[in-house]
Chains A and B, each alone.
Chain A
Amino acid sequence: MGKNILIIHFSRLGDMIQSLPAVKLLSETEPRPRITYACLEEFSRPLRHVPWIDELVSVPLATVNEILNEKGIKPEVVERWIEGMPPFRRNYDLLINWTHNQGSGYLCSRINSIRKEGRISGAGNEILVSGNWGKYLFAAVRHRTNNPINMSDIYIGMTGVKHRPASATLPTDPESDAACRERLWEMGLCESHIPIGLQLGASSMNRVWPVENFIRLGEMLSSRLNARIVLFGSEKERGLAEMFLRGANFPTIDLVGQTRINDLPPLLKCVRLLVSNDTGPMHIAAAVGTGTVGIFASTAYFSLTGPYGEGHIAVQSNYPCAPCLNSTRCDHPLCAEAITVETVWEAVCLALGEAAGGEKIRGAALYRSSFTQEGLLDYRPVSGENNSFAAWLISRRDMQSRAVHALWAPWLGLERRDAPVRTGDGGTAFVFSTLGTACVEYLEIYREAMDACRSILREFRRDRPRIEYIKSRIELLNKTEAKIIKGEAPPLLKEINEFIMAEAAVCNFPQLARELLEKYAVMANIVTRFESGC
């Protein structure tokens, strides 16, 4: 009999769709597990026909906000709510929490499961992240430019399933497909046109490519490729659609605000390509097998949230400040504006397999997705600007992310044959040697800390432990932690250190010393394997 698995994912539509490859691969394990998937009701409809989800638990966003509020969990309220939610009262073999908030961590701590992955609260409601992949996920969010692993692959890693390409991860039912095709035909689509979708909006206006650019792109698509433009978007994006329609002098099928969320997958299946900002519909298009051109600006970064599947094109802003962090997000992002129409046109040509127009790429670098030998999604650069700082920085980030892959791959149980070797060009060698130097420095810190832990343990084995001596060793450990925080660590190392630290139970000194010893040994092992492997 298969395992009983509960997945909790109270996140936005795009995140949920990105988790589907993991759910599908999980369902293909033998014996087939029973999968329960808890998500936000507002985004649940597209998942209703997913055959690898055995039970869909949908919770209204308002309830999640009220019961699992970040700012103040009321245990008695959560307990009462769980009482009325039978799926949360069952026993599971595996519980995976992909939600990024503290409230969901508390909920997970109240559910019985043999193994738990992801964000789970500890006994004192402290934030714990369980499993190496889970730790990597939460650390990578803060290090997007250093992370080459796609979000879908991180989700797959958290399930424990071996990576391999997953396709058609969001099946649609044939009846809906036919109805949507018919609807588009009624609205003016015909055989002679290439249907190309445009998604004008995004969850944040900072991530939106200007509508004037979409209009010019639409003109080029219409005149050069005989494309029929189909506009997608929610009611909230009506304003953008009106602007588009006012400026467009070519036929357009306008579905903005006229599409139920469950019609979105079959409708997106009808278009040959979707050009979109980083949004939920972009991920839906990829999940139903439609090609995409994703435009990434502001906080969005292609390597983490690029669409899953082969042949997608990511248009990544090459502004030096992009992707911005929450603390560096600006009032008036120029990064999206700077991506030229010609650049996105080139991306469209690449995605459609058309001969590229030879237009000058400006404001962005283009990447195409494919799968590596070990089954991970990989976005490789295809073209970009030359001879500018922006171009240099983005290519350096690519090198850096591959070097960082070499650092973390062994810890994540991955091969690192896809990482570049240290004997590459000057830039690659520099990136590797910088990372190597940081590893050596941190190895030294970990060794010192391990010695201190061993001293504490040795002292406690004595008949009469010397308290002052133990205090001095603990002081040394405090200093070590301060050094780890202040130093220039290899990317993600500090966050992972913090996540492991949070697991250490401060119940008694020997126990703490043992746990810390184990932690520093893990960290030392990570940096040593990088050094010895390069």
Chain B
Amino acid sequence: MRVLVVGAIQGGTAPLCGPLQKAFADAGQESDCLDFSPHSEEFLRLQFSGDEERTYRFHLDIRLELLEKIRRFEPELVFGIAQSPLHDPEILGALRKAGIKLAFWFVEDYRAFDYWKRICHLFDRFFAIQKEPFSRLGNFHYLPPACDPDSCDLPAAERDIAVSFVGAPYPNRVNFFARLNCAGFRIFGEGWSACGNPCVEVGNRRLSAREARSVYARSRINLNLHSETDPVGFGGDFVNPRTFELAGMGAFQLTNMRKHLPLHFDPADEVIALSRWEDMKAAVEYFLKHPQEAEEIAARAKARAMRDHTLRQRAEEVLNFFM
């Protein structure tokens, strides 16, 4: 099957484009990808510029680039990743008429991004990392994130960061991390500079995927506190991509308990998932003193990720619907 992967212009899912294309290829398909991430700077510049003409032109160019790629590659399946510009009903309708199958992977929290409502019905299959509210859709399938074994395979790094967090300053993270009195805690991510937390190491920009992986590999404990708009919220449903990436790298993580987590990892044996912030704080204290136990847990997570949670396995799951 000829599969075209359409990547995001910007955001956390942008680095997924190439690895996912390779995953389809590894699954025995002829695949190609259209990576829009080189346009991200222009996109962000225009977003707040108020320059309607240039913005219109930008989006027109994006569409033309998409159509040109489809014309040349002649895919049988177009697979869009969250934040990709695959949302024009007219284009999608025309592709469908031409007999091209359409799929979309919504690797987002539906509470934070609601554009799924406008596009979900335009695809043959709509994949998401949450079960609700999508279970009512006839074309929905739950597809959790996964790890890319190639980028997980880093040379062993010295664990010279005690505790780290990489990600955006959502209200729950700002609130809880302000209360983590831990020497050696370091925060990396765009927007943290304004939060007044003395542990911020890089707070004015988003770390590249490569930089983030380096921090994960160097950390004895990775805090993986899922995003939440409620400052005291600690639970939730979906399991974020970081969980799979950290596991795939064999990096030890503490995470907040998620409704879907036990479907993918054992919350006591492969990752440590907690139901309360006070327990997460206690866990930091414990694992700093017990690094060997942390390493053993991380090794089990890696084995599980490589066994059950690679992008290739997700690609195969997607292909089951179309072959």
CB of A98 closer than 8 Å to a CB of B: no
Nearest residue in B to A387 (C-beta to C-beta)?
B293
> A331 to B268, Cβ gap below 8 A?
no
CB of B41 closer than 8 Å to a CB of A: no
Nearest residue in B to A325 (C-beta to C-beta)?
B275
Picked from B235, B236, B261, B272, the residue with its CB within 8 Å of the CB of A389 is: B272
> A329 to B259, Cβ gap below 8 A?
yes
Please report the C-alpha to C-alpha distance between residue A522 and residue B82 in the assembled complex, in whole angstroms.
53
Chain A residues with CB below 8 A from B262, complex form: 330-334
Please report the C-alpha to C-alpha distance between residue A329 and residue B234 in the assembled complex, in whole angstroms.
11
CB of A23 closer than 8 Å to a CB of B: no
Chain B residues with CB below 8 A from A46, complex form: none
> B267 to A396, Cβ gap below 8 A?
no
CB of B256 closer than 8 Å to a CB of A: yes
| Known A389-B293, A396-B282: A331·B272 in contact at CB below 8 Å | no
> A328 to B256, Cβ gap below 8 A?
yes
Distance in angstroms from A365 CB to nearest chain B CB is 13
| Known A319-B268, A486-B231: A389·B259 in contact at CB below 8 Å | no
> B279 to A327, Cβ gap below 8 A?
no
Please report the C-alpha to C-alpha distance between residue A329 and residue B272 in the assembled complex, in whole angstroms.
15
Interface residues of A in 297-350 (CB under 8 A from B): 318-335, 338
Chain B residues with CB below 8 A from A326, complex form: 235
Chain B residues with CB below 8 A from A321, complex form: 257, 267-268, 273-275
CB of B290 closer than 8 Å to a CB of A: yes
Distance in angstroms from A318 CB to nearest chain B CB is 8
> B261 to A320, Cβ gap below 8 A?
no
Nearest residue in B to A488 (C-beta to C-beta)?
B179
Nearest residue in B to A390 (C-beta to C-beta)?
B268
Interface residues of B in 179-236 (CB under 8 A from A): 179, 231, 233-236
CB of B65 closer than 8 Å to a CB of A: no
Chain A residues with CB below 8 A from B273, complex form: 320-321
Nearest residue in B to A317 (C-beta to C-beta)?
B268
| Known A320-B272, A322-B275: A334·B286 in contact at CB below 8 Å | no
| Known A320-B268, A389-B286: A327·B276 in contact at CB below 8 Å | no
Residues of chain B touching chain A, judged by Cβ–Cβ distance below 8 Å, are 175, 179, 231, 233-236, 256-263, 266-268, 272-276, 279, 282-283, 286-287, 290, 293
Residues of chain A touching chain B, judged by Cβ–Cβ distance below 8 Å, are 145, 318-335, 338, 388-390, 392-393, 396, 486, 488
Interchain Cβ contacts under 8 Å between A and B, 29 examples: A318-B268, A320-B268, A320-B272, A320-B274, A320-B283, A321-B257, A321-B268, A321-B273, A321-B274, A322-B275, A324-B257, A325-B234, A327-B236, A328-B256, A328-B258, A329-B259, A330-B260, A330-B261, A332-B262, A333-B262, A338-B268, A389-B283, A389-B290, A390-B268, A393-B279, A393-B282, A393-B283, A396-B282, A486-B231
